[in-house]
Structure 1
Amino acid sequence: MAGRSLIGDDKIVPAEVVPGLAALQPHWQAIRDELEPLLAAREAIPSLGDISPDHKRIAPGQHWKSYFFKGYGFRSDENLAQCPLTAELIEQVPGLVVAFFSIMEPGTHVPRHRGLTKAWLNCHLPLRVPKGPGRCEIDVGGTMCQWREGEWLVFDETNEHEVWNESEELRAVLFLQVRRPMTRVGRAAAGLLFQAIRHSPFVQDVKQEIGAR
């Protein structure tokens, strides 16, 4: 897939080369406004490990919560209805694969892991970032990055990455996974992979847990 990329093969990818991200970014505070009521009752938001058994190793316990909107062509109508502006904005991002609010409680540690394919990019739009003391950062392939509210962090998930929130505050981002801009051959291969994963037990488990359709 790296040889089919139209934007190079860097670990950290400039947000401006990913279609749709620049148009969404100015609305980050309005997206955060829709997130805030959910955070006030976040004990009801499931952990990623509960939603997806495949993620139990990296998301044990209740520290990493995930409020899913869309994934692999499936959608949670109930969650989208709770956040209508966010729902409208993510619909305008080309090549969307996955969209959810990723919420990490104080004390979260996600151990080193890597993703499946270079066909997609992980895009974080930080909405709540701890301002007090304590470590809150992500290591992507040996490059240490900090989130900044309202500024995209985009990276290639096939690089090993590890996350810490050792602060006393939560960290919340709008997490989008989008298709990497690629040549026609690369897009075709990525499309086949998308369909294979869409019908896999991994995705079917998530679909069932969040009541998506």
Structure 2
Amino acid sequence: MPELNLPTIIISLIVLYSLASISYVFAFRGQYRHPNFKHYMRKCWPIFAPLNCILYMSTKKRARKAILDLEDFPELQVVQQNWETIRDEALALKSEQAFESTKEKGSLGYYDVGFRTFFKYGWSKFYLKWYGYTHHSARRHCPKTVALISQIPQVKGAMFTLLPPGSKLTPHSDPFACSFRYHLGLETPNDDNCWINVDEQTYAWRDGEALLFDETYVHHVANNTDKHRLILMLDVARPMGPLGRMFNFVYCQLMRFTLVPNDSTDKRGMANAVFAKVTPFLNRSKQLKQTNIRLYKVLKLIFNSLLIAILLAVIALIIFIPYRLLF
């Protein structure tokens, strides 16, 4: 029997922990249950479950639930108190067709690796801030809103989002547990038929009202009205202990790679620059789906495998560097 050395033991423990984390998120976390494991794989980024579970364990007790109490986050009160000022700047953007321009094929804002799948439902956005970077276009068009959120260090990301009448976003969860998601109603249908469901809890948007939730719980959206839904969406720092903050620092650095510009005056993250290059290939592969489904599935498998390999390499580096420093 070969002797077990320390690296082998550590790797084995990491593998076991990773499998346990994926199983926990799939079968036990929250109230929502996936119809099958394939659905979980497609909608919920299980590759990030091991790191996310470290953040879950480090999250402070008051924040360990799907929908959070706004009273526990008093720093956000100033946002809600100024909702009309924020609304006016968002409506000005809407009248200038700013939301439409960011989702047009070929535009800089179109290549959004994080939210790209939402475009097919008519969803659109305008970024204000993203993990250490404030958009120049936002400073020009929304100076009051930018100034307001810049006063709150817990706000890591910000954007306006627009959901058209009759649209929806199917059940999904966000990959990174580095933050919570804040929604502030600006111009909404004010109707129970325009809602978000977070872990089997339904909330209907209202003008001037806010919601804070953990976006790594499964959530889905529907606007079954004849009016648009316009909101301010913020990423708010997850309150955690020292271990969680250490891991979260790495996560936040990864988030910077997903920076998306609104126009040519804004910076672009590396992940979205790469996504812009491979998008023509992805579009051609979708056309291939209609003519040669077998080849399409092979190419899709290769692409997804490469993506997973890159993510695993990043995670391996996150684990390997501290290990080398300690041993």
Same fold (TM over 0.5): yes
What is the CA distance between 1:131 and its match in structure 2? 3.8
Q: Does 1:153 align with 2:208?
A: no
Indicate the SS of the match to 1:59: helix
- Structure 1 residues not aligned, in runs of 5+: none
- Change in 2 beyond 3 A, CA 1:197/1:39: closer
What is the aligned counterpart of 1:96 among 155, 175, 196? 155
- Structure 2 residues not aligned, in runs of 5+: 1-54, 268-327
Per-residue Cα deviation, 1:24-71 (whole angstroms, up to 9, x for no partner): 21100111111222122326442398241443333315x211011111
- Change in 2 beyond 3 A, CA 1:65/1:208: closer
Match of 1:112 in 2: 171
% identity of equivalent residues: 29
What is the aligned counterpart of 2:131 among 55, 72, 89? 72
Q: How does 1:34-183 map to 2 (within 5 A)?
A: 34-42=89-97, 44-47=100-103, 50-60=110-120, 63-131=122-190, 135-183=193-241
Q: Which has the larger radius of gyration?
A: 2
Per-residue Cα deviation, 1:3-38 (whole angstroms, up to 9, x for no partner): 211223111001222252112211001111112221
**Of 70-79 and 43-52, the range deviating more from structure 2:** 43-52
For the aligned residue pairs, the C-alpha RMSD in angstroms reads 2.2
- Change in 2 beyond 3 A, CA 1:18/1:212: farther
Higher share of residues assigned helix: 2
Letter in 1 for 2:237: R
Letter in 2 for 1:149: D
Match of 1:28 in 2: 83
Count how many residue pairs are aligned between Structure 1 and Structure 2.
Answer: 207
8 Å contact 2:193–2:204 — kept in the other structure? no
- Change in 2 beyond 3 A, CA 1:181/1:130: same
Letter in 1 for 2:222: W
Instruction: Extract structure 1 runs of 4+ deviating beyond 6 A.
Output: none
8 Å contact 2:157–2:235 — kept in the other structure? yes
8 Å contact 2:179–2:235 — kept in the other structure? yes
Which whole-Å CA distance do the structure 1 matches of 2:157 and 2:264 have between them? 13
Q: How does 1:192-211 map to 2 (within 5 A)?
A: 192-199=250-257, 203-204=258-259, 206-207=260-261, 211=265
Indicate the SS of the match to 2:88: helix
- Change in 2 beyond 3 A, CA 1:143/1:210: farther
What is the CA distance between 1:98 and its match in structure 2? 1.2
What is the TM-score with the length of structure 2 in the denominator?
0.59
Q: Does 1:212 align with 2:272?
A: no
Q: Does 1:187 align with 2:242?
A: no
Which whole-Å CA distance do the structure 1 matches of 2:263 and 2:220 have between them? 26
Match of 1:2 in 2: 56
What is the TM-score with the length of structure 1 in the denominator?
0.87
Per-residue Cα deviation, 1:80-99 (whole angstroms, up to 9, x for no partner): 22111101111012222210
What is the CA distance between 1:117 and its match in structure 2? 3.0
Higher share of residues assigned strand: 1
- Change in 2 beyond 3 A, CA 1:56/1:118: closer
- Change in 2 beyond 3 A, CA 1:209/1:116: farther
Which whole-Å CA distance do the structure 1 matches of 2:234 and 2:190 have between them? 23
